Amino acid sequence: MASFRQDIETTIPALRRYARALTREAEAADDLVQDTLVRALRSEHLFHGGDIRSWLYTILTNLNRNRLRSLARRPVLTSIEDDDAPDAAGPEAGGRDIERALAMLVDEQRTALLLVVLEGLTYREVAEVQGVPIGTVMSRLARARMQIKAYLDGERPALRRIK
């Protein structure tokens, strides 16, 4: 199984890149990659050929979705005596335009876009990673691109950077 591990090893830099763009935080990204590697190694006996790279992307994508669920409502820390906790915080602040544009996308759209433009996966491969038909991948891509364009064009004043 040496080649299995070698294949995983050669994919690590790409996984880090993908995770960084998904999370836009270096630490969280490497945590995701680490979890992905642990799971991949644990599931080595379940892997029956096929494209290891796509499989790793699939694991990482799923782990990231779990992560986002937990952050969907960032917990608000309050004293135990405080009975009226305020609502969750707003969108994350800071970062460059493209980062913020990515941050505002729905996870499925961001994932589809990054797998295509950053990781160079084919539509078919992305469909397998996301477990959806190719048509769904394409509509996710289309919506992602439309929203990023609108954001960068400044059509979303609520989200525009405050100068």
Q: Of residues 89, 93, 98, 106, which one binds other proteins by CB under 8 A?
A: 98
What tokens does 97 get? 């335009």
Among 23-31, 52-60, 155-163, the segment contacting other proteins (CB under 8 A): 23-31
**Minimum distance between the CB of residue 14 and other proteins, rounded to whole angstroms?**
6
Q: Judged by CB under 8 A, does residue 112 bind other proteins?
A: no
**Minimum distance between the CB of residue 36 and other proteins, rounded to whole angstroms?**
9
**Minimum distance between the CB of residue 71 and other proteins, rounded to whole angstroms?**
7
Q: Judged by CB under 8 A, does residue 108 bind other proteins?
A: no
Separation CA 137–CA 125 (nearest Å): 10
Q: Determine contact, residues 91/104, Cβ cutoff 8 Å.
A: yes
Helix (H) or strand (E) holding 6: helix 2-23
Q: Determine contact, residues 105/95, Cβ cutoff 8 Å.
A: no
CB atoms within 10 A of CB 96: 10
Among 51-59, 93-101, 154-162, the segment contacting other proteins (CB under 8 A): 93-101
